[in-house]
Each structure stands twice: as structure tokens, then as C-alpha cells.
Chain A
Amino acid sequence: MRDIRVSLVGYGIVGHGVVDVFNRKKQMLRDLGLNLMLISVSDHTGTVIAEDGVDADKILGERTLANVATSSMKGKEAISAIDSDLVVEVTPTNIIHGQPGLGHMEAALSSGKHVVTSNKGPLVVSYSHLKKLAADNGVMLKFEATAGGTMPLISLVERTLVGNTILGIRGIFNGTCNYILTRMTEEAIPYTHALSEAQDLGIAEADPSYDVEGVDTAGKVVILANSLFNMNVKYSDVDVTGITGVTPEALALAKKRGYAIKLIGDVPALTVRPTLVPLGSPIAVEGTLNSAAIYTDLSGTITVTGLGAGSIETASAILTDIVSIYRTKRIDAIF
């Protein structure tokens, strides 16, 4: 049995999902030979530390850690002080400066801790720096949840499709935009109406600009370009157009001719824009689903689809990354 001491940094929607999923999957992980111990959880109010594992039932009912924190340490200080093997970083994303996640990841990697994250910001801002920091310290940086959520994309390309040359990836990488466009098409309602519906359902944020202006999708395009295409690009290299200009009339005209309009991110073209997708194409998924077509030289086109966001769904991608770090050495290693 391998003991893995995990620190969770960030206790928002995804953080709650991580605590819940770790708790639910404890036995399954033991069966795999992994004794996953969540020894600390930190947010902007403080940290809960428990050497034998944080009691999930005790903290899951709390929105923040303010009432249950056992230490006032936060962020980088907590990461450095607590003796963990792996840090799960799920603080809010900022793709302009990457903070606070960037500082957390630097602190973790430079002290020899693996990092698993769903936070796009630090990777968009500083991918190559973080990757080098991980390599220099002999640890891994895993980020499946950042691009496509629970939809397997990075691991699919890096493991299952290994040996293929990846010619391009095009897809729907934002469930909020896809939901809005789907509803506008179904009900012939204007953008503002579909947006307010999405906000009422919790699918869109109060400030939706990050999603609807294509910023989120562009962040994912940057991550895919850097991690799978070795491109070393930044956010400003992406040509971005969001969905706010799309009208129900445009959707109806397109549908009449056999097309849906979807917000498509394209790597390596580095574009994000509303695009005509033939109805019936495997990437023309509806509602909050994401999809991606991966163009390869040997395997042809592979299409994946899945939920792009959500607390438990994102946590599942994080769990997969954690398991893959420890499995890498045992199963996939080439001697």
C-alpha cells in the first residue's frame, strides 16, 4: 500500500467536489494500492490540518473553512509548511496574471511536490516555466481538468494515441456557450434571454464575459497548444471572437441549410470563433456538453465528448490525474 499525502488548496465548488470524491472513492483507491490521505485543506480563510486525514463529513457542509480551520496559514505558507507529497490546486482562475494559483504551484513544485490542477490561469500564463520547475524537481504537473473538464483529452493524446502525430484539435470547450447557443436555436430566443436562463440555472456566472467572450475557450486553446503541440504561445496569440453577436436568426438560417453554430476552439490555428458545424457531425453536441475532434496521422479523426464542467466531474479528472502519477512509474514505465 502506497501512502499519498495530499494537500488541497482552494475550497470553492471544485474543492468541495474533490473532498467529496476522495471520500467516496477511498476504498476503490485502496484496492488500487493507493492510500490517499487528504492531510490539509486550505482556502482564503485558513487551513484545516489533520495528520490522519481530514474528516470529509465535518467540512463538506461548510461553504468556507472560516469555522473549521485549525490553522491561520494560507496559500504558499501552508503549502511550504505542510509535509505533503502532492498538492491539488483549485483556486479561482485568472488568465491575466495567473495568481494566486501560479504562486501556489511554484511553491509546491519547487519543494518537490506533485501538482494536480483544474486552474487554467497559471498554465496559460506560465506553462513552460511550470513544466521546467516540475522537471527540475523530479515531480509531475498534471492538468487534465483544465481543458475539456472531465472529457479525456490530454491523457488520451499523451497515452492512448501515443505514436500518432497530432495534426490538430477542434472542438467545443465551453459548456456555458454551448448551452446558450443550443437554447437560442431550440426556442428562437435572443442571446440575452438565453443568457439569463443559463444564469438562473447556475450554468453561467453573474459576470458571464469570461465564458461568452471566448476567454475561457482561448485559455484552453493555449493550454492544448503548449502542452500537446509544444507551441509556447500565450493568450494574446489567440484570435478570439465570442458568441455575443450571434442572433437567433443566424442560427435559424444556418439550421435551414444543415448547420449548427458552435463556439469552436482550434489548435494549432489558435482561433476561437462561432463556426458552422454540420448537423449530425459528432462534434455538434448540444446543451452543456463539450466535444473535441482530434486529427491524427495514423488513427484518423478521433472525437470525444463529455461534461466540460461541474464540481464532481472536475474532481473526477483530478482523481484520474493523481492515480496516473503513481501508476506511471509502475505500469507505463519503459525500462
Chain B
Amino acid sequence: MRLSMDLELQDIPGQLLLALQPFRDNKANIISVVHHRDRKTPRGMIPVRFVVEMDRSKIETVNAKLKECGISVVRAGEDRLLEAVSVVLVGHVLDSDLGDTINRIDSTGFAEVMDLSLSMTGVDEPSSAYLKIRATGKAEIQKALSILREVGREKKLLVIDPIETEAV
């Protein structure tokens, strides 16, 4: 499974290497390490985000080992929703029950609306909304988009989704 972890390291040499050791020992595949030197916390710690692929059963071992080394684990969570897509809706977005529109995506279990901005001009005028949808994979993004297009047809909303960057 893919996991993202936010750690805080002390600002002394060798800390990053120390933090990597437990991942290595537990055969985790490191996808990315983002070291935020410019974003020191009030306590003077340096935040680092790790994204790793590892066996679920090893998480506790890695966590314990990190703590043992004096590294604090601020957050650790499964990166479930790996793909994202932007969509713009135009029409009577609010009056056609925006809550229901979002719920139709959220209730799938594989996709969620993560971001929403609304722009309204007048009561009778069509409003416009920007949605960011996250899903567990590329195929699920396409499924979520077709659900949204179906909802669009039903509620007379114009659904504007992104161009495919590759031939399908």
C-alpha cells in the first residue's frame, strides 16, 4: 500500500539518513522525500514528507523505530486517493441540490470531491462551480466523470472536464 508520512527532524546533520534507516530495514520502497528546510516549525524542527510503498503490517514497527531515534511522526496515513481531476460546472448548480451532486461522487467509495469554489452572479443567473475530484485510480477518475456527466444531463448542468492528454 502507498503511505504518506509527515515527520519532523532536528536541524542537525545526519537526521535524514537516520529517518531513512527504518524504511530501508523494513523493505519500504521510497516514492518521494520532500525536505522543507524553508518551513521550520516554531520548535525549530524541519518538516519532511515521505511517500512510501510498504507492507501494511510493517507500519507499526517503522513508527516505533522512528520514535526510538527521536524522530516525531506528525501524521501517517494511507494515500488512498491518488488521482485528481478538475471539473467546472455551469448552470443552476446550487438550486439543483449541490449537496446531492457531491454526494453522488462521495458515495461511490472510490472518489471524493475534495475542493469546491462557487461563483454566483444573480439569483436567476446560472452559477459556476469548480470541483476537484480525487479518486483511487485513473479508471475510477473516468467512472467519477461519467457519473458527473450523467448528473449534469439530469440537472441540466454543463459539465466541463479536462482534455485527455493521451490518445484513449
Contacts and interface: CB of A to CB of B under 8 A. Distances in A.
Interface stretch (A60-68, A114-122, A206-214, A246-254): A246-254
B168 interface: yes
B134 to A, nearest CB: 14
B163 A276 contact: yes
Interface string B103-123: 000000000000001011100
B128 A247 contact: yes
B154 interface: no
Interface in B153-168: 158, 160-168
A276 B161 contact: yes
Interface string A232-265: 0000000001000111011011101101011010
A249 B126 CA distance: 10
A22 interface: no
Contact of B163 (A167, A241, A253, A277): A277
A261 to B, nearest CB: 6
Most A C-beta atoms less than 10 A away, residue of B88, B90, B128: B88
B127 A249 contact: yes
Interface residues of B, number: 25
Contact of B158 (A254, A259, A274, A283): A274
Interface in B63-92: 86-88, 90-91
Nearest to B130: A253
Interface in B114-145: 117, 119-121, 126-130, 132
Contact of A264 (B158, B163, B166): B163
A274 B166 CA distance: 18
Contacts of A256: 117, 130
Contacts, number: 76
Contacts of B86: 254, 257, 259, 276
Given A246-B90, A254-B88, A295 B166 contact: yes
A245 B91 contact: yes
Given A167-B167, A249-B119, A253-B119, A241 B158 contact: yes
A264 B161 CA distance: 11
B142 to A, nearest CB: 12
A261 B163 contact: no
Nearest to A269: B168
Interface in A251-295: 252-254, 256-257, 259, 261-262, 264, 269, 273-278, 281, 283, 295
B158 A246 contact: yes
Contacts of A257: 86, 130, 132
A281 B162 CA distance: 12
A168 interface: yes
DSSP class of B's interface residues: helix, strand, loop or mixed?
strand
Contacts of A246: 90, 158, 160
B121 A254 contact: no
A138 B168 CA distance: 37
Contacts of A104: none
A19 B163 CA distance: 40
A295 B121 contact: no
A168 B164 CA distance: 11
B162 A245 contact: no
Interface in A93-107: none
B162 A253 contact: no
A170 interface: yes
A247 B126 contact: yes
A254 B163 contact: no
Given A246-B158, A253-B128, A170 B163 contact: yes
Contacts of B130: 253-254, 256-257
A243 B130 CA distance: 17
10 contacts: A245-B126, A247-B128, A249-B127, A250-B90, A254-B160, A269-B168, A275-B162, A276-B88, A276-B161, A278-B165
Given A250-B160, A276-B162, 19 more contacts: A170-B164, A245-B90, A246-B158, A249-B90, A249-B127, A249-B128, A250-B88, A250-B158, A253-B88, A254-B86, A254-B130, A256-B117, A261-B88, A274-B160, A275-B163, A276-B86, A276-B88, A276-B161, A277-B163
